[in-house]
Amino acid sequence: PGIYVCAKCGHELFSSRAKYEHSSPWPAFTETLRGDSVAKREERRGALKVTCGKCGNGLGHEFLNDGPKRGQSRF
């Protein structure tokens, strides 16, 4: 339980309350902690490149409509 932060700068990114089990080997979240937690840019259809909202460190992707519920995204 707690808050997940950027490994590079410590900026708060995700809450453990938004974490869920997924088939990928990486932690999966349904939402960010705050609106400015991450920055996003479209990389390809259905996937956004996600970086830390403070320092720009690469965090992976947001996969649109791939969350645990219909219409939710997966980070």
Which residues are registered as beta bridge partners of 48?
Answer: 42, 62
- Structural fold of domain 3-63: 2.170.150
pLDDT band at 4 (very low <50, low <70, confident <90, very high): very high
Quote the DSSP letter at residue 21. Answer: -
Average the pLDDT over 37-51 and give the result: 95
**Contacts with 26 (C-beta within 8 Å, 6 or more apart), sequence order:** 60
Q: What is the pTM of this model?
A: 0.87
Q: Where are the domains of the chain?
A: 3-63
What are the pLDDT digits (tens) for 18-36? 999 888 888 899 999 999 9
Sign of CA dihedral 64, 67, 72, 73: negative
